[in-house]
Amino acid sequence: MASDAAKQRQYEYRANSNLVLQLEKGKRPRDSEPTGEVMTLGGKHSTKELMGKMGDKVKRLRPEERIKKRNQKKREREAGKGQSRSKARKIDTAVNVLNADVDAVYRPQTRDTKQAYEALLSLIQHAMGDKPHDVLQSAADEVLAIMKE
């Protein structure tokens, strides 16, 4: 209850009256400040300016950096016209789906975990048959992920 009374006193007129700024007698508000009254635009702009469409005065300029980059690319293209497109888009046949390295999720760190991982790989190899090592590793990763859940 005491805190409620303190909150009420905080908003009383006596507590806040000295915080209100008073206009000194004899001084007018500055002429440059807006008063909030509606002002006419009649003499400030011509009718043609006021009746124009939106965006009439927009100037479309291109940034200089973009123009420089475009010109540089054009020069590079012109300099490289002697090459055939097949050479420019040559596909690296050394890496494909069949011989790509598969990054295993789990890498054993200690000697004990390496032995356990090798035992798991041998069980998976026995169950799956003769498969490539990366297939066995990905299967072991899936087994470990299921066991963690």
pLDDT on residue 63: 79
Q: What is the mean pLDDT of residues 19-31?
A: 65
Distance CA 121, CA 127 (A): 10
Distance CA 22, CA 27 (A): 11
**CA angle, corner 17, sides to 15 and 11, nearest 5?**
40
Cβ atoms 123, 142 nearer than 8 A: no
Q: Which residue has the higher pLDDT, 54 or 142?
A: 142
Tokens of 9: 């006193």
Q: Indicate yes or no: pTM above 0.85.
A: no
For every residue of 56-106, DSSP letters joined together read TT------HHHHHHHHHHHHHHHHTTTS-HHHHT----SS-TTTPPPPPS-
pLDDT on residue 14: 78
Tokens of 48: 């043609």
Task: Please say if the pLDDT value at position 69 is more than 80.
Answer: yes
Distance of CA 57 to the CA centre of its chain: 33
Rg (CA), the chain: 40
Task: Please say if the pLDDT value at position 9 is more than 70.
Answer: yes
Task: Please say if the pLDDT value at position 79 is more than 90.
Answer: no
Cβ atoms 23, 29 nearer than 8 A: yes
